[in-house]
Each structure stands twice: as C-alpha cells, then as structure tokens.
Amino acid sequence: MSESERALNVNVFTAPEKPLVAERPRPFGAPMAWDPMTSTLIYGEYDAVLVDPLTTVTEAGALADWVALHHRNLTTIYITHGHLDHFSGLGVLLRRYPEARAIATPGSVELARAHGRALPAFRKWFPGQMPATLTLPEPYEDETFTLEGHELRIIEQGHTDGKNSTSLYVPSIDLVVGGDVLYNQCHAYVAETTPEIRENWIAALDRLAALNPKTAVAGHKKPGAPDTSECIETTRRYLTDFGRLQEETSTDRELFDAMHALYPDFAAKQAWLMFGLS
C-alpha cells in the first residue's frame, strides 16, 4: 500500500473557556472570559500535522502531551491566522517537537507580528500564563503541503473575524479546519467587522460549504459540540442575524441582549466579542 493510499485521521483538542483574571469593566454585567477554542491534529500512520497551538503555556503544554498520546512524528504546525490566541503557544510545542516546521501564510505572519504587540495586555488578563517571548511561524508561500502523500490545501479567506484569515482543506478525508472563519455553538468575535467584512466572511463560509465537508472544525467551539458541517450554516446565520439586529436596535445593550436571546445556549456570553475589549 502506497503512502497516498493510507487513510488519514483527525482528532480535535478543545481548550475550555478561560476567565480573564485582571480587573476589567464588565459591560452589561457580563463576565470577562476568553471563549473556548480548538487545536486539530491530522495524522497518518507515522506523521502528523497540528493546526493552531492555542494560547497559554498551560494549554500548550496540555496540547503537547495530548499530541504525544498519538505516537506520531509531528512534522508541521500550521497557523490559520495571526490572532495571538491561536499562535502564542507555538514556542511550547516547538520545544517539545523541535523537528516540526511551523508555517503560516505571509499575510498571517504579518498579522501575527503586529498582534504580538497585544502580549502585555494578555499577560495582564492571564497573569503567569503567557510565554516570556513569542515564537512566530515562518511565511509559507505555497497553496498546499502534504502529509504522507495526502494534499492539504490552504484556502485564503481574507478578512473574517480578523485580517488574512485562512482555512485548511484535506480532500482525501473531506475535512475542513476552518480557523476563525467557523464558530461552533459559540458567540463569534464580530467586534472588528463592518457590513462589508461580514459580507466577505459569508462568502468565505460559502467557499467552505461548497466543499461539502464531512468534518468541519471551528476555531472556537462549545466543548462537546460535534465537528460537523452544520456549523458552517450556523455561523452564516449568526452573521446575518447580527447585521439585521444591528440595524434594528438602537443601543449596544439592545443588540447584545437580542443576540443572546436568539442564541441562549451558545458559549462565551461576553460583550467584548461584539464590541471589543477596550
């Protein structure tokens, strides 16, 4: 059996919601916390690729231990986008797996470098939990890379919940790792969006839906939520509802309450997801 004939597998690590420790204003009385998030391991018979190595040192250490349970050679760590919460754990993973190559698109690396300026704020919110220094992925120019002969395709998605977002598609197992293009039973970070950005975000979701994936992993998801393609349509509906209610409501508080009335069971009921941390 050739390498390309051996089936790949996927497993998803979900880090729970993290309370912000530092004292901060509580808009509308909502608690301040970071929404739950995922890291995805795609693996073959011998080798593996990890997508997004999480935020804190503790999370990344637990993730590294979890990767070790799979008994595979970690060849590549792929970063879907440059938001600090998705790559600040990279140094921890590379210390455990020094032979792994950490890559991201040039646009994602550019945003990661810029977003690194937020590290002092993260240290304030999560004291003693952030790395001493940040490790950046290297810019990767190609549209694909491989795992045991299987193609992994990078999908450039433009500005979704942040600039230069990407998703990863693995055709041989009908897998989409959406990054922050996808949210799964979790309130989305729309604080940086405009109607035009949300229109692009919806187009990005349509690109993923057109692939008809069997498995779709969101960058942020409620623990226990299934990794199915249903989250593509749910994210699309969420963005559409947010845009509609933003026009129908008169104040931020009305918009916040209206969204949570529509999605009462979603994880991460924090006002900063809609209106920012400042």
> Tens of pLDDT along 25-43?
566 666 678 899 999 999 9
121 burial level (CB within 10 Å; 0-12, 13-18, 19+): middle
CATH, domain range 7-275: 3.60.15.10
Closest of 93, 36, 20 to residue 267, by C-alpha: 36
Q: pTM of this prediction?
A: 0.94
Q: Is residue 190 predicted with pLDDT exceeding 80?
A: yes
User: What pLDDT digit, counting tens, does each position of 229-271 carry?
Assistant: 999 999 999 999 999 999 999 999 999 999 999 999 999 878 7
Question: Domain segments of the chain: what residues?
Answer: 7-275
Tell me the C-alpha distance between 30 and 2, whole Å.
54
Query: pLDDT category, 137, cuts 50, 70, 90?
Result: very high
Tell me the C-alpha distance between 37 and 234, whole Å.
17
